[in-house]
Chains A and B, each alone.
Chain A
Amino acid sequence: MIVKVSDHIISPMGMSTAENYLAVKAGRSMLKRYEGHWGLPEPFVASLMDREKVEQAFAGISDNKPYTFFEKMIILSAAKALEQTDIDPSSEKVLFILSTTKGNVFLLDKRETGFPKERVLLGEAARQMTDYFHNPNAPLVVSNACISGVCAQIEAMRNLASGQFDNVVVVGCDVQSAFIVSGFQSFKALSVEPCKPFDAHRTGLNLGDAAATIVYSRKDQIDENDWVACKSAIRNDANHISGPSRTGEGSYRALKAVLGDFNPEEIAFINAHGTATLYNDEMESVAIERAGLSQVPVNGLKGYYGHTMGAAGLLETILSMQAIDDYNILATKGYETIGVTHPLVLSNQNQKTDKRAFIKLLSGFGGCNAALLIKKGGSL
């Protein structure tokens, strides 16, 4: 079976998984309003890293080669996750998978001259990480829009199940830039205040910086504290490249595929995508109802971090595991009044649970949707 060996989160809320979990549990957020940032004409609300903190932490593990901020984030997160294990990252049985949408896209700006232009290529950025760890394998970069972080975990599960690799280091990261923020602004997808997932007054999403890593391995004998990645699916809406399906088609099919004959009563919660755009949250409510999961609690974490894009699937999976370890269903920050037509069990307060499984759900541009069923202490 495929089990989690270790994890790590770097975000504006903290430089470790524990710091991040406690900040979320306490209801904190680093979403702030930025005016004139990166020379952008429109203000925006985002959760951005204090870059000095990352520079300081990276100085402790630096090999004195020049890295971009994005590369420092992914190397630091992977290094901190690997530190907790006895895995030799230079082994040919270790694979690195990077989940990102835009990597070093800031290098396309003509005013950026500090790094070779090839580093804008996602594979080149990922190679900085594998070279740092002296890993001999070509890294895989999963770039499936907003579902990348779950897809990267699915690739890890498959590459372990096939027997080709013994350990897979899955790193998710995106770093915000004028490119990304202006693009989402042009789409009119951004909220001018902290986002309100599933709320009646939601007006759009916020963006955020983060890097998050999960190390997965194969294990034959599962004990009760092992986190097992059980079942996964990626499905397309076949409907529109930038808008979700009104019938929640892909998301519903992904949910159905991971659910199989698993008893929904064993599921503590569905950690939804919950971007707080009108269409995404509505679509998820349709998909969850169609899948027969209306009675299962749903939460969303974008009110703490904004949408961290390539990091989101990993960040939100790790925090969901932490929550179940703590017998907790994390509150949906920003949510007050139900604003989707298919009722969901939502709360803006932390709730107790003693259930041990959850579903991570994501949807993205290109009509893609992914679901991952994860259970503590055993198989299905």
Chain B
Amino acid sequence: MMKVCINPEMVIVNGKVLSHQEKGSALLTKLYRTYIGDYPKFFKMDTLSKLGFVASELLLQAENAERFVPREDRAVVFFNRSASLQADTTYQATIQDPDNFFPSPAAFVYTLPNIVTGEIAIRNKYFGETSFIVLPERDPSIMAQQLQNAFQDPMTQSILGGWLDCTDENHFEAELTLIFKS
């Protein structure tokens, strides 16, 4: 099974550690510049979306199938604990002070956890199911069950899915896999 793990200190693709000196959000930018580089929208994303974007890119590069062909048979299904907490906190700062009240639409749009699923759908031309489920805590058996359930949609043949959590720009964890219908 193809798998990508990213945390602020380490990146592992199919069991192989990618060595980089950067940590935290600087690591995500380094990964973007090293392995992707052709998608400047990356720089507008919140940390959760950057994390999901980079992790999905590394996973799909490892899959080594033809990319960017419109398809409806691949779903994107993520889980986490913190929903869009980092974006929420960023947006709250723009409205906290009545004397310095500057609500930002660019910050507000990321205050939904499923935006990252949309970012990945746009990048890859995925017209299939996209979904985000928040859990009280990480629970691999619940995640596995819900991912299996997603195959009840007869259109869905594979799922780019897994854990994608971010509490602030230096605290995050991604563990994404590609799962195929058995």
Question: Which residues of A does B touch, CB under 8 Å?
Answer: 39, 41, 101-103, 105, 108-110, 120-124, 126-127, 138-145, 151, 155, 157-159, 161-162, 164, 178-179, 182-188, 232-242, 249-250, 253, 257, 364-368
Contacts and interface: CB of A to CB of B under 8 A. Distances in A.
Contacts of B81: 121, 123
B127 A238 contact: yes
A108 B88 contact: yes
B2 interface: no
A162 B117 contact: no
B98 interface: yes
29 contacts: A108-B88, A108-B92, A120-B88, A121-B81, A122-B134, A123-B136, A142-B132, A142-B134, A144-B114, A159-B146, A161-B149, A164-B145, A179-B91, A179-B95, A183-B105, A183-B108, A234-B130, A235-B127, A235-B128, A236-B117, A236-B118, A241-B109, A241-B115, A241-B122, A250-B127, A365-B115, A366-B112, A367-B118, A367-B122
Contacts of B103: 182-183, 185-186
Given A122-B83, A138-B139, 8 more contacts: A39-B98, A41-B101, A121-B81, A139-B136, A161-B152, A182-B103, A235-B129, A366-B112
A182 to B, nearest CB: 4
B20 to A, nearest CB: 28
Contacts, number: 175
B26 interface: no
Interface of B is mostly: mixed
Interface string B95-111: 11010010111001101
Interface of A is mostly: mixed
Interface size class of B (residues with CB under 8 A): 35 or more
Given A238-B126, A253-B127, A366 B118 contact: yes
Contacts of A138: 135-137, 139, 142
A233 B136 contact: no
